[in-house]
Structure 1
Amino acid sequence: MTRPKTQTDERVLDAALALVREHGLAALTFSALAKRCGLSGATLVQRFANKSTLAQRTLLHAWDELDARTRDLAGATPLTPAGAVELLLGLSEGYDGVESYGEGLLLLREDARDPVLRERGAAWEAALTRAIDARFAAVPNAPAGIGYALAAYWQGSLTWWVFSPDQHVRDYLTVKLNAFIAMLKLAETGEAPRADR
């Protein structure tokens, strides 16, 4: 008779992800995870087989969290351009500073190396751009592909924020994303900017 699991895989992967976020992927070893979650290294090896599988499962767990956050924000933000900004600001929470954003970029490097993780990234891109598109559906003359354009602008703005760390990420992105939407309105009307804008 097998012993019941003392911790679910999800709880173990929560611990693994916390370890990765604090110390980087290189710190994710069976020994370090055993200390973090309270299970033996042998038990963890039985569950995850090897370090490569453990790392992949941990990063897939991170994608699960991001997918859930995206769904929650898509369900809670208005179907307006302001709602699109709110959705993207919500996805930006958790970056306490440039260091935490930099750690996220290191995980992105791992995602780029693994075809399974790349597939998850592509699926998230599709879901996010659909959610943003929906927030512009009632806007007359909203350009096709606005969801992708705004998501790409958001990602680029996050990268540029690294060079302005004196500003809180939410404040920085609020200005940048609203300026992007304002540029779309300008392009839609064909008006030249006035000096008092």
Structure 2
Amino acid sequence: MPRPRTVSDGEILAAAAVVIGEIGPDRLTLGDVGRRVGLAPATLLQRFGSRRELLLALAGHDVDAVPARLRTAASAPGSLLDALVAALVDTASHIDSPARFANHLAFLLKDLADPDFQAITHRYGAGVTAAIRDVLAAAADRGELDADADADADVDALAHLVHVVYNGALVTWGMTSSGQPADRVGQHLRQVLAPYRAAGGRRAVAGSA
């Protein structure tokens, strides 16, 4: 009977994410990750097969988890738009320094250059946009979005815009290092959503049904 695992895959991947934030993906070794969780590199090889497979597992770890967390905003009490902003701010809260952000950005660029990583990144991006769209549709059903604010104010277009602003706010913060990244994300998202907020009453946005 195999011995039970004392360290879960999730804990190993969380440790790998910390190491990437500290030194970047290119310098990461199985030894670095193993020291974080008290496992030998050979054990990690048995678990994941290779350093590359470990990084692929890390890239795929949040493909479903992050969209699922964002979708919980659709059932929040109070304003769903505020809940969506809060959920995206929370997603950005792990970024605490320009160097750490640059290292995670380097991991993303690695994803875009490798077909296997790229496929995971595309799934992640589509999943996040779809989750944002679901929350916006729920907000529209509650009358929180103003259909007359803009002729193109349908939830699909707005979901893409919110996702772009989220990523753009982080990149801009990384370039300027002004303030806290999560605060900047919240500020820019509130600004972009402000023109679409209904003044009152139930007004459906195109595509919400």
Q: Common fold, TM-score beyond 0.5?
A: yes
- Following superposition, the deviation at residue 56 of structure 1 comes to 0.5
- Structure 1 residues 42 and 165, CA gap change in structure 2 (3 angstroms): closer
Asked whether 1:87 is paired with 2:93, we answer no
Q: Any stretches of 5+ residues in structure 2 without a counterpart?
A: 198-209
Tell me the matched-pair count.
Answer: 186
Equivalent in the alignment of 2:133: 129
* Cross-structure match for 1:176: 188
Q: Structure 2 matches for 1:141-160, cutoff 5 A?
A: 141=147, 143-144=153-154, 145-160=157-172
TM-score where L is the length of structure 2: 0.72
Matching residue of 1:120: 124
The aligned amino acid for 1:157 is A
TM-score relative to the length of structure 1: 0.76
> Offset at 1:42?
1.9
Shift of 1:53: 0.7
Alpha-carbon contact 1:74-1:131 (below 8 Å) kept? yes
Letter in 2 for 1:108: L
Kept in 2, the 8 Å contact 1:133–1:147? The answer is no
- 1:81 and 1:62 mapped to 2: Cα distance? 23
Give 1:64 shift: 5.1
Please state whether the residue corresponding to 1:162 is helix, strand or coil.
Answer: helix
Tell me if 1:166 matches 2:172.
no
Q: C-alpha deviations, 1:115-149, integer Å up to 9, x for none?
A: 23432332232223322343344223161122222
* Structure 1 runs not aligned, ≥5 long: 186-197
**Residue 53 of structure 1: aligned partner:** 53
Question: How many Å apart are 1:23 and its aligned residue?
Answer: 1.8
C-alpha RMSD over aligned residues: 2.8
Please report how far the alpha carbon of residue 93 of structure 1 lies from its aligned counterpart in structure 2 after TM superposition: 1.4
Q: Residue in 2 aligned with 1:35?
A: 35
Q: Compute the displacement of 1:74 (Å).
A: 4.8
Q: Give, in whole Å, the separation in 1 of the partners of 2:2 and 2:178.
A: 54
Identity of aligned residues (%): 25
Q: 1:27 to 1:109 in 2, by over 3 A?
A: same
Higher relative contact order (CA 8 A, sep 6+): 2
| Contact map agreement 1:19 1:28 (CA 8 A) in 2 | yes
Residues 173 and 48 of structure 1, relative CA distance in 2, 3 Å threshold: closer
